[in-house]
Amino acid sequence: MSTTHRTACILCSQNCGIHIQLDEVGQIDKITGDPAHPVSEGYLCQKATRLNYYQQQARLNSPLRRKADGSFEEVSWEVAIQEIADQLRHIRDTHGGKTIGYAGGGGQGNHLGGIYASALRTACQTPFIYSALAQEKTGNFWVHGKLFGRQNTNYAEAVAEAEYVLIIGSNPLQSHGLPKARPTINELSRDPKRTLVVIDPRETETAKKADIFLQVKAGKDAYLMAALLAVILQEDLQDKDFLANETVGFAEIRPHFMRIPISEYAAIAGIPLDKVQQVARGMAAAKTMAIRSDLGIEQSHNSTLNAYLARLLFLVTGNFGKEGTNCLHTALLPLIGHSKSPEEGGVVTPVTGMQGIGKLFPPNILPQEIDSDHPRRMRALIVESANPLSSYADIPAQRKAYAKLDLLVVIDVAMTETAQAAHYVLPAATQFEKLEATFFNLEFPKNFFHLRQPIWPPLENTLPEPEIHHRLVTAMGELPASFPVLAAIAKIDRRMPALRLLPLALAVTFAFRPRWKKYGLLVLKESLGKALPGESKTAALVWMAAHRYAKLYPKEVQRTGLNAKGYALGEALFNKIISSPSGTLISIHRHEDHANLIRHKDRKVHLAIPELLGWLDKLPEKALADADTEKAFPFNLIAGERRSYNANAILRNPEWRKVDKEGALKINPSDAEALGIQSGDWVICSSPVGSIRIIAKVTEEVPAGLLSMPHGYGLAYPGEEQPERMGALANMLTSSEDCDPLAKTPYHKQVAVKLEPLV
Ligand SMILES: Nc1nc2c(c(=O)[nH]1)N[C@H]1C(S)=C(S)[C@@H](COP(=O)(O)OP(=O)(O)OC[C@H]3O[C@@H](n4cnc5c(=O)[nH]c(N)nc54)[C@H](O)[C@@H]3O)O[C@H]1N2
Ligand SMILES: Nc1nc2c(c(=O)[nH]1)N[C@H]1C(S)=C(S)[C@@H](COP(=O)(O)OP(=O)(O)OC[C@H]3O[C@@H](n4cnc5c(=O)[nH]c(N)nc54)[C@H](O)[C@@H]3O)O[C@H]1N2
Ligand code: SF4
Ligand SMILES: [Mo]
End-to-end CA distance of the chain: 56
* Domain span(s) for CATH 3.30.200.210 in the chain: 3-55
Residue 174: other Cβ atoms inside 10 A: 20
pLDDT band at 627; cut points 50, 70, 90: low
Of 34, 33, 57, residue with least CA distance to 47: 33
Q: Is 650 in the pocket of ligand 2 (CB under 6 A)?
A: yes
Q: Which atom of ligand 3 lies nearest, measured to the CA of 46? A: 2
pLDDT band at 725; cut points 50, 70, 90: confident
The best mutation among 175, 185, 293 to test binding of ligand 1, ranked by most ligand atoms within 8 Å of the C-beta, falls on 175
Q: Residue 669: is the preceding peptide bond cis (ω within 30°)?
A: no
Q: Average pLDDT for residues 396-420, to the nearest whole number?
A: 98
At residue 522, the pLDDT reads: 98
Q: Average pLDDT for residues 711-729, to the nearest whole number?
A: 88
712: left (phi over 0), alpha (psi -120 to 50) or beta: left
Residue closest via CA to ligand 1's atom 14 equals 295
Q: Is 746 in the pocket of ligand 1 (CB under 6 A)?
A: no
At residue 186, the pLDDT reads: 98
pLDDT digits (tens, 9 = 90+) for 309-354: 999 999 999 999 999 999 999 999 999 999 999 999 999 999 999 9
Q: Is 216 in the pocket of ligand 1 (CB under 6 A)?
A: yes
Q: Is 44 in the pocket of ligand 3 (CB under 6 A)?
A: yes
The best mutation among 9, 184, 441 to test binding of ligand 3, ranked by most ligand atoms within 8 Å of the C-beta, falls on 9
pLDDT band at 722; cut points 50, 70, 90: confident
Q: Is 685 in the pocket of ligand 3 (CB under 6 A)?
A: no
Q: Is 697 in the pocket of ligand 1 (CB under 6 A)?
A: no
Q: Is 430 in the pocket of ligand 2 (CB under 6 A)?
A: yes
Q: Is 651 in the pocket of ligand 3 (CB under 6 A)?
A: no
Q: Is 9 in the pocket of ligand 3 (CB under 6 A)?
A: yes
The answer to whether residue 704 scores a pLDDT higher than 80 is: yes
Q: What percent of the chain has pLDDT over 90?
A: 96
Please say whether the structural domain 64-132+335-586 has been given the CATH code 3.40.50.740. yes
The helix-helix angle for 112-124 and 465-475 (nearest 10°) equals 10
At residue 719, the pLDDT reads: 86
DSSP state of 101: E
Residue 436: other Cβ atoms inside 10 A: 26
Residue closest via CA to ligand 2's atom 34 equals 430
Q: Is 47 in the pocket of ligand 3 (CB under 6 A)?
A: yes
Q: Which atom of ligand 2 lies nearest, measured to the CA of 731? A: 1
Distance between CA 589 and CA 553 in Å, rounded? 9
Write the CA distances from 393 to 428, 550, 686, 751, integer angstroms. 25, 40, 15, 11
Q: Is 412 in the pocket of ligand 2 (CB under 6 A)?
A: yes
Provide the mean pLDDT of the chain: 97
How close is the Cα of 599 to the center of ligand 2, in Å? 31
* Domain span(s) for CATH 2.40.40.20 in the chain: 621-757
Q: Average pLDDT for residues 567-586, to the nearest whole number?
A: 98
- Close Cβ partners of 525 (under 8 Å, ≥ 6 residues apart): 116, 466, 470, 537, 538, 540, 541
Residue closest via CA to ligand 1's atom 41 equals 296
Q: Which CATH architecture has domain 155-328?
A: 3-Layer(aba) Sandwich (3.40)
At residue 626, the pLDDT reads: 65
> Is 113 in contact with 308 (CB distance < 8 Å)?
no
At residue 90, the pLDDT reads: 98
How close is the Cα of 44 to the center of ligand 3, in Å? 6
Runs of H (alpha helix) within 131-217? 138-148, 172-175, 181-190
How close is the Cα of 6 to the center of ligand 3, in Å? 15
Among all bound ligands, the one having the nearest atom to the CA of 706 is: 1
Phi and psi angles of residue 339, each rounded to the nearest 5 degrees, phi first: -95, 135
Distance between CA 286 and CA 293 in Å, rounded? 19
Q: Residue 670 is inside which H or E element, if any?
A: helix 669-675
Q: Which atom of ligand 1 lies nearest, measured to the CA of 174? A: 1
Distance between CA 181 and CA 173 in Å, rounded? 6
SS (H, E, C) 289-346: EEEEECHHHHCCCCHHHHHHHHHHHHHHCCCECCCCCEEECCCCCCCCCCCCCHHHCC
> Is 334 in contact with 356 (CB distance < 8 Å)?
no
The answer to whether residue 440 scores a pLDDT higher than 80 is: yes
> Is 256 in contact with 615 (CB distance < 8 Å)?
no
Dihedral sign for Cα 275, 243, 166, 336, please. Answer: positive
Name the fold adopted by 621-757: Barwin-like endoglucanases (2.40.40)
At residue 628, the pLDDT reads: 56
* Domain span(s) for CATH 3.40.228.10 in the chain: 155-328
Of 324, 296, 321, residue with least CA distance to 310: 296
> Is 530 in contact with 521 (CB distance < 8 Å)?
no
Write the CA distances from 646 to 50, 175, 757, integer angstroms. 11, 10, 25
* E-assigned strand segments in 699-757: 706-710, 751-757
Runs of H (alpha helix) within 365-416? 366-370, 388-391, 395-402
Q: Which atom of ligand 3 lies nearest, measured to the CA of 18? A: 3
Q: How many helices (H) and strands (E) are present in the chain, helices listed first?
A: 29, 26
Dihedral sign for Cα 238, 242, 245, 247, please. Answer: negative
At residue 276, the pLDDT reads: 98
At residue 737, the pLDDT reads: 96
How close is the Cα of 107 to the center of ligand 2, in Å? 6
The best mutation among 711, 717, 732, 738 to test binding of ligand 2, ranked by most ligand atoms within 8 Å of the C-beta, falls on 711
For residues 721 and 311, the model is more confident at 311
The best mutation among 366, 391, 426, 646 to test binding of ligand 2, ranked by most ligand atoms within 8 Å of the C-beta, falls on 391
Runs of H (alpha helix) within 434-513? 465-475, 484-495, 501-512
Q: Average pLDDT for residues 732-741, to the nearest whole number?
A: 98
At residue 622, the pLDDT reads: 75
* Domain span(s) for CATH 3.40.50.740 in the chain: 64-132+335-586
Of 257, 241, 258, 239, residue with least CA distance to 316: 239
What CATH number does the domain located at 3-55 have? 3.30.200.210
How close is the Cα of 26 to the center of ligand 2, in Å? 28
> Is 687 in contact with 729 (CB distance < 8 Å)?
no
pLDDT band at 630; cut points 50, 70, 90: low
3-state secondary structure of 138: helix
Among all bound ligands, the one having the nearest atom to the CA of 171 is: 1
Q: Which atom of ligand 2 lies nearest, measured to the CA of 642? A: 7
pLDDT digits (tens, 9 = 90+) for 107-125: 999 999 999 999 999 999 9
The answer to whether residue 552 scores a pLDDT higher than 60 is: yes
Residue closest via CA to ligand 1's atom 31 equals 296
The answer to whether residue 148 scores a pLDDT higher than 60 is: yes
Q: Is 295 in the pocket of ligand 1 (CB under 6 A)?
A: yes
Q: Is 642 in the pocket of ligand 1 (CB under 6 A)?
A: yes
